[in-house]
């Protein structure tokens, strides 16, 4: 009995160590100078590398990503803002606004993101939130809504004027993933040079990755204060794979971001693990080729993980009446579950083609590789 207990312990410990080694192999291959760092897949949010990613730290001007998001979502981008004396007096980097000046909100957001204007941040906050306090409330409400669990905003610009203004590398990556779903944010963040419509100003983006250092850069936001040190959020895209990187308190941030991106681009690819349209493995079932999914399922995988993709389909048990009257078959007849390394990455409905639901035409993305035929598992009936 004692021998069996020892054997069981050894097996459990061995399994744990193998899992630990597998999960941290990529981490060992990347070295960064930052106190906190992370790189995630922009599509799925999968964490590909992390270092103290949940540690609460000062974040400086990458705060302005949230300010830009709220401005864009306010629907007021074409409105005219009257600049207050309070906004003009904001310390630090500026786009040199003047009291009483009338500027389009859109111009202020470009000045915020490209030149890191603290005066622009204050003017945006007052216009969108009614006051600095009202806007800060909106910032924290939005942070809670999108799952930023270790973040507290106290101002719209990131200056060190409050003790409890902080976030984490992970939370800032989650925020950027959300922001990149907004077309206006993508455009503004990825703009190299902008000529303001209501100001006699032309601004060049401070993000050196975007303006020349890194060919795959698609945008981001820089930051620095004496207490926070250098902070940086950046995005990059190559061959259909979109990545988000964050570093906090990093003296070598440009190189660290490029190294993180290059490691992932060289070791991972985005694959179509399930194509939209009919499901080959279900053609021999009652539902035949009329069972389908409405969208492609894509996921970022390394070479070894391709063999770990599993697809399981659960279908409604057909009723006798359905054989005589196919119109009685419900729109949704089952569920597809996709797992990688036994971890569920997505669950999506399986539809039945009828007058209400038309099966989409399949198309193949040249930048993606398809592995559906190797991944598809069996199906089972359920009631």
Q: Which residue has the tokens 């990503």?
A: 65
What is the CATH T-level fold of the domain 32-268, as seen in this structure? Answer: Beta-lactamase (3.40.710)
Q: Averaged over 267-277, what is the pLDDT?
A: 94
What are the backbone dihedrals phi and psi of residue 97, each rounded to the nearest 5 degrees, phi first? -70, 160
Q: What is the DSSP letter of 158?
A: -
Confidence at residue 8, expressed as pLDDT on a 0 to 100 scale: 47
Q: Averaged over 194-215, what is the pLDDT?
A: 97
Confidence of residue 373 (pLDDT cuts 50, 70, 90): very low
Confidence of residue 34 (pLDDT cuts 50, 70, 90): very high
47 vs 24: CA distance, rounded Å:
12
Indicate the range of 46-50, 146-150, 167-171, 319-323 predicted with least confidence.
319-323
Is the pLDDT at 318 greater than 70, yes or no?
Answer: yes
Q: Averaged over 74-98, what is the pLDDT?
A: 98
Cross-strand pairs, 272:
298, 370
Q: Which of 73, 69, 56, 54 has the alpha carbon at shortest distance from 113? A: 69
Q: What is the pTM of this model?
A: 0.88
> What counts of helices (H) and strands (E) characterise the chain?
12, 18
Confidence at residue 18, expressed as pLDDT on a 0 to 100 scale: 44
Give the mean pLDDT of the chain.
Answer: 90
What is the CATH T-level fold of the domain 275-382, as seen in this structure? Answer: Spermidine Synthase; Chain: A, domain 2 (2.30.140)
Which contiguous run of DSSP H or E holds residue 10? helix 2-29
Strand-pair category, 332-340 with 309-316: antiparallel
Q: Averaged over 269-289, what is the pLDDT?
A: 92
Domain boundaries, the chain: 32-268, 275-382
With beta carbons less than 8 A apart as the criterion, state whether 303 and 333 touch: no
Q: Is the dihedral of CA 88, 93, 97, 98 positive or negative?
A: positive
Indicate the range of 13-22, 29-38, 64-73, 239-248 predicted with least confidence.
13-22
**Coil/strand/helix, residue 202:** strand
Indicate the range of 90-94, 142-146, 314-318, 359-363 predicted with least confidence.
359-363
Q: Averaged over 196-207, what is the pLDDT?
A: 97
Tokens of residue 157, six digits: 């610009």
Confidence at residue 355, expressed as pLDDT on a 0 to 100 scale: 87
User: Which residues make Cβ contacts (< 8 Å) with residue 48, sequence separation at least 6?
Assistant: 26, 39, 40, 41, 243, 264, 268, 300
Is the pLDDT at 22 greater than 60, yes or no?
Answer: no
Q: Averaged over 103-108, what is the pLDDT?
A: 98
Residues with a known catalytic role: 61, 64, 116
Backbone angle region of 123, left / alpha / beta, with phi > 0 → left and psi within -120 to 50 → alpha = alpha
What are the DSSP calls for 348-372, one per residue?
A: EEEEE-SSS-PPPPP---TTSEE-H
What percent of the chain shows pLDDT beyond 90?
Answer: 81
Confidence of residue 364 (pLDDT cuts 50, 70, 90): low
Using H for helix, E for strand and C for coil, what is the string for 273-306? EECCEECHHHCCCCCHHHEEECCCEEEEEECHHH
322 CB-side CA count, 13 A: 12
């Amino acid at each position: 009995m004692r021998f069996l207990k020892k054997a069981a312990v050894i097996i459990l410990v061995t399994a744990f160590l193998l899992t630990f080694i597998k999960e941290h192999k990529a981490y060992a291959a990347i070295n960064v100078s930052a106190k906190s760092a992370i790189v995630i897949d922009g599509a799925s949010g999968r964490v590909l590398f992390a270092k103290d990613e949940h540690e609460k730290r000062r974040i400086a001007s990458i705060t302005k990503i949230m300010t830009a998001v709220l401005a864009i979502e306010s629907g007021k981008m074409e409105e005219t803002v009257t600049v207050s004396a309070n906004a003009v007096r904001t310390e630090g980097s500026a786009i040199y606004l003047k009291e009483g000046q009338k500027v389009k909100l859109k111009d202020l957001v470009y000045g915020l993101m490209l030149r890191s204007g603290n005066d622009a941040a204050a003017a945006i906050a007052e216009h969108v939130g009614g006051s600095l306090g009202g806007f800060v409330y909106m910032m924290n409400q939005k942070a809670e809504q999108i799952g930023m669990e270790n973040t507290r905003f106290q101002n719209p610009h990131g200056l060190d004027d409050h003790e409890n203004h902080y976030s984490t590398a992970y939370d800032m990556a989650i925020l950027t993933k959300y922001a990149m779903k907004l077309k206006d944010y993508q455009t503004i963040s990825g703009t190299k040079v902008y000529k303001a419509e209501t100001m006699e100003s032309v601004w060049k983006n401070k993000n050196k990755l975007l303006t020349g250092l890194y060919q795959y850069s698609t945008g981001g936001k820089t930051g620095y204060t004496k207490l926070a040190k250098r902070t940086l959020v950046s995005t990059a895209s190559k061959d259909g794979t979109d990545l988000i990187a964050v570093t906090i308190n990093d003296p070598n941030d440009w190189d660290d971001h490029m190294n993180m991106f290059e490691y992932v681009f060289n070791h991972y690819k985005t694959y179509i693990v399930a194509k939209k349209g009919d499901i080959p493995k279900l053609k021999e079932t009652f539902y035949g080729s009329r069972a389908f999914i409405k969208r492609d399922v894509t996921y970022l995988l390394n070479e070894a993980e391709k063999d770990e993709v599993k697809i399981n389909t659960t279908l409604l048990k057909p009723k006798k009446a359905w054989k005589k009257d196919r119109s009685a078959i419900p729109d949704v007849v089952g569920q597809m579950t996709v797992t990688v390394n036994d971890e569920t990455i997505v669950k999506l409905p399986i539809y039945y083609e009828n007058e209400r639901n038309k099966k989409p035409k399949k198309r193949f993305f040249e930048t993606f590789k398809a592995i559906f035929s190797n991944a598809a598992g069996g199906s089972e009936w359920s009631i």
